Amino acid sequence: MISNSVLLIVDVQKGFINDHTRHIPAAVEELQAGYDRTVATRFVNPEGSPYRKLIGWPRFEPGSEDTELAFAPRPGTVMIEKSIYTCIDAAFLTRIDAWGAAAVDICGIATDNCVLKCAVDLFEQGRRPRVLSEYCASHGGPECHAAGLLLLRRLIGEAQVV
């Protein structure tokens, strides 16, 4: 952990838990204790979304069991519901700036899409993302996780993938 860092927990939800990601909820629960500030995202896939229209993926309907968190967020965790890959928007940036965050440490599911997109969006906004590779996984399997880490190292730099 970096001093003044925020922990961003990405989409650790029941619908993303499988043999490849089963270890993540317990690891994330432990990891939270090292941070003063935590933010967790919850992905939902409403009617008319690009996931439904463009790739035919109907899971994670609002209110479904898929969308339930698979870990217990620590008290004070800021929850963000999102219907796209990223949670990085003006409100998120304003919040972390108000907290004086020097970096955003990122963990969760999936390394190859939502974790990657959040990290790249922070990088492009001039913030320092740090992807905690041991605390990330992909429901697509180890090859998807490895591909995500490979791309992250190219996109945001080796030093930001730890």
**Domain containing residue 119: CATH number:** 3.40.50.850
> Total domain count for the chain?
1
The residue range of the domain holding 81 is: 5-160
**Distance in angstroms (rounded) separating the CA atoms of residues 161 and 150:** 9
pLDDT at 135: 98
- C-beta separation of 87 from 80 below 8 A: yes
Q: What is the pLDDT of residues 100-151, one digit of tens each?
A: 999 999 999 999 999 999 999 999 999 999 999 999 999 999 999 999 999 9
Q: What is the pLDDT of residues 50-96, one digit of tens each?
A: 999 999 999 999 999 999 999 999 999 999 999 999 999 999 999 99
**Distance in angstroms (rounded) separating the CA atoms of residues 128 and 101:** 9
Between the two ends of the chain, the Cα-to-Cα distance in Å is 10
Residue bearing tokens 């996931």: 51
Token pair listed for 157: 């730099």
**Distance in angstroms (rounded) separating the CA atoms of residues 75 and 64:** 24
| E-only strand ranges, 38-143 | 38-43, 78-82, 103-109, 129-137
pLDDT at 2: 53
**Distance in angstroms (rounded) separating the CA atoms of residues 137 and 115:** 9
